[in-house]
């Protein structure tokens, strides 16, 4: 029962729509009606600028970090921590507070699993940085890094004599990665059609 409550709590934390709230409080606008319609930091960057985007990014990261830290303090087993991480991502993607239409879960997922598997998360961050720096496509960097994360977990598992990760935790990480990649299906379609916006590309008047 306690673990179930923690998973529900993780989902509710993940559901807090910081991109929407910051858009409303700073500009009086619904971020879902501008740009890509996404409530994540990338769309906030395009629509509102880098300062609100940084705030949204950090808060979305915290939605993944905080539940896991609480779970660790309560000595929750690793497999349940993985379930809590997945629940936080589900909350971000399907937020109860926004009619179950939210973001894509990258920052929240990274926050959760960076606590649980820091070395693989760091490796995925490097992959993200290299791809975005070379292509300027945030979506491509997100998908590539997310796809690499389960493989990096297997690569780094037990490195340096550390304790091997719980197989169930690895499974939850893989499921989270698959969910995030699925949420990028429209981006992948635009990438194939060469219609995806690049980092720093300004919105047209009709998109603002």
Task: Report yes or no on 208 lying in a domain.
Answer: no
Does 98 fall in a domain? yes
In terms of phi and psi (left: phi > 0; alpha: psi -120 to 50; beta: otherwise), the region of 164 is beta
First CA to last CA distance, the chain: 46
The tokens describing 179, both together, are 């969910």
Residue 117 resides in a domain: yes
Confirm whether 60 is domain-assigned. yes
The C-alpha atoms of residue 75 and residue 58 are separated, in whole angstroms, by 25
- In percent, the amount of the chain with pLDDT more than 70 equals 93
Percent of the chain past pLDDT 90, that is, above it, reads: 73
Residue 94 domain-assigned? yes
The 10s digit of each residue's pLDDT in 84-117 is 999 999 999 999 999 999 999 999 999 999 999 9
Domain that holds residue 165: 2-201
Query: What is the predicted pLDDT for the residue at 148?
Result: 96
What single-letter DSSP state applies at residue 34?
S
Let me know if 62 is exposed, middle or buried by CB neighbors in 10 A (0-12, 13-18, 19+). middle
pLDDT digits (tens, 9 = 90+) for 2-21: 889 999 999 999 999 999 99
Predicted structure pTM score: 0.90
Task: For residues 164-191, give the mean pLDDT.
Answer: 91
Q: Give tens-digit pLDDT for 52-87.
A: 999 999 999 999 999 999 999 999 999 999 999 999
CA 147 to chain centre: 13
Query: 194-197, long-range: CB within 8 Å, 24+ apart, which pairs?
Result: 196/137, 196/139, 196/140, 197/36, 197/46
Where is pLDDT greater, at 21 or 37? 21
> Measured between alpha carbons, how far is 187 from 200 in angstroms, rounded to an integer?
16
Structural domain count of the chain: 1
Q: What is the pLDDT of residue 62?
A: 98
pLDDT digits (tens, 9 = 90+) for 192-201: 999 998 887 6
Residue 207 lies in a domain: no
pLDDT(161) > 70: no
């Amino acid at each position: 029962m306690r673990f179930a409550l923690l998973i529900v709590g993780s989902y509710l934390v993940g559901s807090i729509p910081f991109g929407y709230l910051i858009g409303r409080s700073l500009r009086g606008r619904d971020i879902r009606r501008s740009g890509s319609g996404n409530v994540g930091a990338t769309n906030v960057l395009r629509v509102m600028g880098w300062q609100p985007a940084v705030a949204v990014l950090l808060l979305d990261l915290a939605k993944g970090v905080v539940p896991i830290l609480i779970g660790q303090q309560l000595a929750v087993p690793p497999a349940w921590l993985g379930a809590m991480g997945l629940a936080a991502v589900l909350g971000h993607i399907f937020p109860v507070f926004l009619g179950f239409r939210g973001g894509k879960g990258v920052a929240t997922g990274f926050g959760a699993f960076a606590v649980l598997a820091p070395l693989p998360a760091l490796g995925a961050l490097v992959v993200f940085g290299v791809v975005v720096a070379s292509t300027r496509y945030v979506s491509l960097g997100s998908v590539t890094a997310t796809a690499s994360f389960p493989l990096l977990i297997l690569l780094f598992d037990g490195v340096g004599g550390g304790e091997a990760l719980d197989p169930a935790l690895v499974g939850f990480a893989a499921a989270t990665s698959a969910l995030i990649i699925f949420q990028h299906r429209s981006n992948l379609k635009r990438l194939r059609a060469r219609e995806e916006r690049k980092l720093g590309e300004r919105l047209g008047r009709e998109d603002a």
